[in-house]
Chain A
């Protein structure tokens, strides 16, 4: 399908090739709820679409019509679905179709139907499509680094079609640009756990902990690496509480002034609940932060909750609940 030809705005009723078709109007009944005031152009195009859809006509003119309908409303999943049926029946070139959907996506990067269409096409094209799909999502992400659809699609491509080679490096680049980009941290987790080129979570843990600790120290107020660090020990709390890097990190953050201590405190609280034996230095660091010096007899967990009730007042109810959940 030649894109330039599609610039023609002639409606079906104005085209001789549609003269044999009776358009099928929309029937919402006598009392429609939230009726939309369709423009005549839209209504007519959709009337003809309904006719070919009902007749299951999978012809070139029907394909063209789906394009017109898509231009008017890229969110109509029925139209996209029928377009796919036509593409199959007519054995159309799917790379060209990718060109087509890329153009439509330019102004619709958050449209589920477009991303689904891409996925369908890529799946049909197979591993050869991987490179192109990774490039495409990279382009979208360069304009919106957290686009949920783009990341989902990228993950699907990697798992279904491959292309893992440069992914960790790509993630690193994004984090260099914006260390607060939680989508990039999430992708990093995806890579280290799923990539066939790496050894899996346990094998990667050592180097990932180092990477994450550095990120935390640069911006201790950044929630993303704290959660990532916790994730590195998912299903293995024993390793987590025994890794000296973790408690050292917390101590470092807790003893620096002018620093956000919330995540460090929260981490220590979690460590305690999984059996950490706190060092004296850790206890002292927490006590220093406690405005209420009379509660030094309290358990460390109790003290931490008390500190957080003030230091993280938005979550006062949560910290009170955590305190109530402490054993002893």
Chain B
């Protein structure tokens, strides 16, 4: 919703969408404006990832959650997925007991189950041996759960369910044609006229479902059936003047979409159609898109641009309307390699700027947007999104990103995540290897 519109447009009173958007924009631009006006030394401090504070916030939650968390009671297992990023704790999963509970609540939400698998993958990084018995519980439950899903309980199928079932099945090495049958067509039918993917056929294109849909299609090798051109176009336009991503057209920016939308680009980059090396089979080390000129490109830009704030120029009228006049360029210098098709298709530095300056809370945790409270869900997905940005130009998981890919000090660098599963890559590979034996 940039710009002023035509003369006739301006005479109409502002709509609810416009008012909401301008309110958020004003808040965000205030933050960027304040940032731009402080000395560079102070800027460096503000751009720091408050690692210790985030760990503290998350650890407290791992130990105990207050009574208000009962609303997540049925999905209590979902929360640990927020914690496995960036650090793995010594907490272990009690899958036998969980399995017992799951047997009782046999119609578990797939998302819950996926989180179980994630805990498993985290815990495995700590102690593989102990997990054997629990693995069999998981396997049995997984097989049963997936079968239940495809027995189709009215109204419970949606793109999220497809993704969680397929991704769990793939980690557990029980993904086969029977399970994948029908999923591809269903997800295809959920791609909308806008290009993004909806939760159900006919619904609105939405970032969360777009990620789930694309990831599921990648997992069953049917990504090319989608209209990828229109999907990319839609998701590219979800990054707004605020620098972060919105979930749907004409809706508000939200830190969690840093992963849902940003992750789509990470997936796309790996597709052969876009010059990627693909995702390989389970036994092949996944290759990142090669950007062989990245080392040589430092000379293309001044290192002082690393922390250049992306600050849209204020317009002359200076109020509610977008501060970013349509034809002006933002005060930023973009690092680009000579091989354009290997570059990330979104503005990775801008997104990092939104995450670090607008979503990060100095006391620990991340939030949707300024004015909203922090929570574990946003902490998870802001960190995931940040990792995606940092590794968006990396040759492979083993070679660390260049400093020019990281906003703020290089110590902000996170572990790489596997974009298909949103778990720390290392743990994904361990788990995959483990389950491939069974």
Known pairs A145-B16, A315-B236; A32 contacts B94 (CB<8 A): yes
Which residues of chain A have C-beta atoms less than 8 A from B436's C-beta? none
B interface: dominant SS: loop
Asked if residues A148 and B249 are in contact (CB atoms below 8 Å), the reply is: no
Which residues of chain B have C-beta atoms less than 8 A from A270's C-beta? 233
CB of B39 within 8 A of chain A?
no
CB of B34 within 8 A of chain A?
no
Asked if residues B248 and A35 are in contact (CB atoms below 8 Å), the reply is: no
CB of A155 within 8 A of chain B?
yes
Instruction: Tell me the complex Cα distance, A230–B243, Å.
Output: 26
Binds B, one of A93-101, A214-222, A277-285, A292-300: A214-222
CB of A102 within 8 A of chain B?
no
Asked if residues A189 and B193 are in contact (CB atoms below 8 Å), the reply is: yes
Asked if residues B119 and A178 are in contact (CB atoms below 8 Å), the reply is: no
Asked if residues B154 and A182 are in contact (CB atoms below 8 Å), the reply is: no
Cβ-closest chain B residue relative to A26: B101
Q: Which residues from 146 to 160 on chain A have a C-beta closer than 8 Å to any C-beta of chain B? A: 146, 148, 151-152, 155-156, 159
Which residues of chain A have C-beta atoms less than 8 A from B6's C-beta? 217-220, 256, 258-259
Q: Which residue of A34, A76, A310 contacts B65 across the interface (Cβ within 8 Å)?
A: A34
Q: Which residue of B203, B336, B350 contacts A155 across the interface (Cβ within 8 Å)?
A: B203
Task: Give min CB distance, B2 to chain A, whole Å.
Answer: 5
Task: Give min CB distance, A83 to chain B, whole Å.
Answer: 13
Which residues of chain B have C-beta atoms less than 8 A from A266's C-beta? 233
Q: Which residues from 103 to 125 on chain A have a C-beta closer than 8 Å to any C-beta of chain B? A: 116, 119-120, 123
Known pairs A54-B104, A313-B329; A224 contacts B249 (CB<8 A): yes
Which residues of chain B have C-beta atoms less than 8 A from A29's C-beta? 94, 96-98
Interface-central residue, A120, A180, A259, by most chain B CB under 10 Å: A180
Task: Give min CB distance, A71 to chain B, whole Å.
Answer: 11
Which residues of chain B have C-beta atoms less than 8 A from A256's C-beta? 6
CB of A136 within 8 A of chain B?
no
CB of B155 within 8 A of chain A?
yes
CB of B28 within 8 A of chain A?
no
Task: Give min CB distance, B72 to chain A, whole Å.
Answer: 7
Binds B, one of A12-20, A165-173, A317-325: A317-325
Task: Give min CB distance, A39 to chain B, whole Å.
Answer: 5
Interface-central residue, A37, A53, A234, by most chain B CB under 10 Å: A37
Asked if residues B334 and A317 are in contact (CB atoms below 8 Å), the reply is: yes
Known pairs A34-B80, A73-B71, A148-B206; A318 contacts B194 (CB<8 A): no
Asked if residues A258 and B76 are in contact (CB atoms below 8 Å), the reply is: no
Q: Which residues from 3 to 26 on chain B have a C-beta closer than 8 Å to any C-beta of chain A? A: 3-6, 8-9, 12, 15-18
Q: Which residue of A179, A189, A220 contacts B15 across the interface (Cβ within 8 Å)?
A: A179
Which residues of chain A have C-beta atoms less than 8 A from B344's C-beta? 317
Known pairs A37-B65, A54-B104; A260 contacts B250 (CB<8 A): no
Instruction: Tell me the complex Cα distance, A223–B5, Å.
Output: 12
Q: Which residues from 223 to 250 on chain B have a C-beta closer than 8 Å to any C-beta of chain A? A: 232-234, 236-237, 239-241, 243, 248-250
Instruction: Tell me the complex Cα distance, A204–B150, Å.
Output: 36
Cβ-closest chain B residue relative to A115: B155
Known pairs A180-B17, A218-B5; A36 contacts B74 (CB<8 A): no
Which residues of chain A have C-beta atoms less than 8 A from B5's C-beta? 218-222, 259-260
Instruction: Tell me the complex Cα distance, A71–B13, Å.
Output: 41
Known pairs A36-B65, A317-B343; A148 contacts B203 (CB<8 A): yes
Asked if residues A148 and B73 are in contact (CB atoms below 8 Å), the reply is: no
Asked if residues A221 and B1 are in contact (CB atoms below 8 Å), the reply is: yes
Per-residue A-contact encoding for B30-67, CB less than 8 Å = 1, 0 else:
00000000000000000000000000000001111111
Interface-central residue, A220, A310, A314, by most chain B CB under 10 Å: A314
CB of B93 within 8 A of chain A?
yes
Q: What are some 5 contacts across the A-B interface (CB < 8 A)?
A: A73-B70, A148-B204, A259-B326, A310-B329, A318-B346
**Which residues does A use to contact B, with CB under 8 Å?**
26-39, 42, 46, 50, 53-54, 72-78, 81, 116, 119-120, 123, 145-146, 148, 151-152, 155-156, 159, 177-183, 186, 189-190, 194, 217-224, 227-228, 230-231, 234, 256, 258-262, 266, 270, 289, 310-311, 313-318, 320-321, 323-325
Q: Which 4 residue pairs of A and B lie closest in terms of their CB atoms, listed nearest first?
A: A231-B193, A29-B97, A260-B3, A29-B94
